[in-house]
Amino acid sequence: MKSKQVLGKGLGALLPGALEEEPKVKLDDEQKTGIISKIPVDKIDPNPFQPRIEFDLQSLNELAQSIKQNGVIQPITVHRKGNDRFELISGERRLRASIIAGIDLIPAYIIEVHSKEELIELSLIENIQRETLNPIEIALGFKRLMDECNLTLEEISKKTGKDKSTISNFVRLLKLPDVIQKSIIKNEITPGHARALINIENVDEQLALWKKIISEKYSVREVEKLARQKKKQNKQSPSVSLKNDPNIESIVSDLRIKFGTNVKLLLKSDGSGEFQIQFYSRDEMERILDILNNAQNNTVN
């Protein structure tokens, strides 16, 4: 008879405390650190050093639906900011999705943070280790660890478990023009493509090859081969400095005014060379062609 009563009471009777609700933070009491508690989402301030740049709305909505069904499975990490406030260290996607889902309380791991540098370090390292960032966000994270936390490659390697060469390769991505960095974030090109582009010193040549990668669907190996060829050509055909030749500078300046765009003169050591007239849209290309055609017609007449 007694056993039936126990079974009738379910899991809570068999395992006392198994179904107890997680403790909630009493905001008016001194809260210990190193524990997991449920805290109100409206008492959590955003992380000013959040390394994530991109937050996909569709992905957030999908996570919010999952949280509605299953709750927040992995706690976020926070530190106490004041008597009744907390500041986020990691888990902003989970926090945002919980707010979308209408959740009032979220499980949080509360830790101590003693300085701004430590907050930056914890935020970046946690996200980098979880591999939830895109390559440019990771690169910016490593750069901040170097610049703002004064960490060496060796120290970052030990803290993140990443090889020093891997860290260097990520940071090198930041040398590329913004438009190419955004292309990496959008997954239009891979970090492998980007690293090959870094080997091309001329920005205009980088951008030209980047456009071909997207339009022609070049593989990483094809881009590496083209980059090597371009580098070899530039070494074989050194350009002559025009800074000390005012006559040539004047010609280039006149052409820029005539075409209303940037014009470059590449002069080789043997006296040969080429003019480059840059355009940035189809309409601009057609405008420049009209100028050239009119100039040719006037010459014939």
Residues 210, 260: one domain?
Answer: no
Rg, the chain, Cα only: 29
Chosen domain end from 58, 78, 113? 113
Report the number of distinct structural domains present in the chain.
3
Measure the CA–CA gap between 152 and 169, rounded to whole angstroms. 15
Rounded to whole angstroms, how far apart are CA atoms 82 and 46? 14
- Provide the 10 A C-beta neighbour count for residue 66: 14
Instruction: Report if residue 136 sits inside a domain.
Output: no
Residue of 279, 202, 212 whose CA lies nearest to 233: 202
Q: Is there a single domain that holds both residue 30 and residue 67?
A: yes
**Domain termination site, one of 113, 134, 157:** 113
| Domain end among 83, 113, 143 | 113
CATH number at residue 58: 3.90.1530.30
Distance CA 193, CA 190 (A): 5
Q: Do 88 and 19 contact (CB within 8 A), yes or no? A: no
State the amino acid at position 204 in one-letter form.
D
- Side chain identity at 123, as an amino acid letter? S
The predicted-structure confidence for 233-289, as pLDDT tens digits, reads as follows 766 555 455 545 667 777 888 888 888 788 888 777 666 778 888 776 777 788 888
Residues 287 and 220 in one domain: no
18: pLDDT strictly greater than 60: no
**Residue 230 lies in domain:** 190-236
Tell me the pLDDT band of 197, cut-offs 50, 70 and 90. Answer: very high
State whether 209 and 277 are in the same domain: no
State whether 69 and 42 are in the same domain: yes
Q: What gap in Å lies between CA 181 and CA 215, rounded to an integer?
A: 17
The answer as to whether 129 is a domain residue is no
For residues 205 and 283, membership in a common domain is answered with no
Q: For residue 15, is it within any domain?
A: no
Q: Are 230 and 262 members of one domain?
A: no
Cβ-based neighbours of 230, under 8 Å, separated by 6 or more: 200, 205, 209
Respond yes or no: is residue 92 known to be catalytic: yes
- pLDDT, residue 131, reads 61
Considering the domain boundaries, does residue 152 fall inside one?
A: no
What proportion of the chain, given as a percentage, has pLDDT over 70? 78
% residues pLDDT > 90 (the chain):
25
* 94 in the same domain as 26: yes
| Catalytic residue chosen out of the listed positions 21, 22, 87, 92 | 92
Nearest to 92 by CA among 143, 43, 127, 139: 127
**What pLDDT is attached to residue 116?**
79
One-letter amino acid at 169 equals N
Beta strand 273-277 pairing with 263-267: antiparallel
Q: Do 208 and 256 lie in a common domain? A: no
Residues 219 and 269 in one domain: no
Could you tell me if 286 and 208 lie in one domain? no
| Phi-psi label, residue 107: left if phi above 0, alpha if psi -120 to 50, beta otherwise | beta
9 is a domain residue: no
Query: Does a structural domain hold residue 125?
Result: no
- 7 located within any domain: no
Nearest 5°: phi and psi at 148?
-95, -25
| 160 falls within a domain | no
Please give the residue that has the higher pLDDT: either 25 or 113: 113
pLDDT in tens, 77-107: 999 887 789 999 888 889 999 999 999 999 9
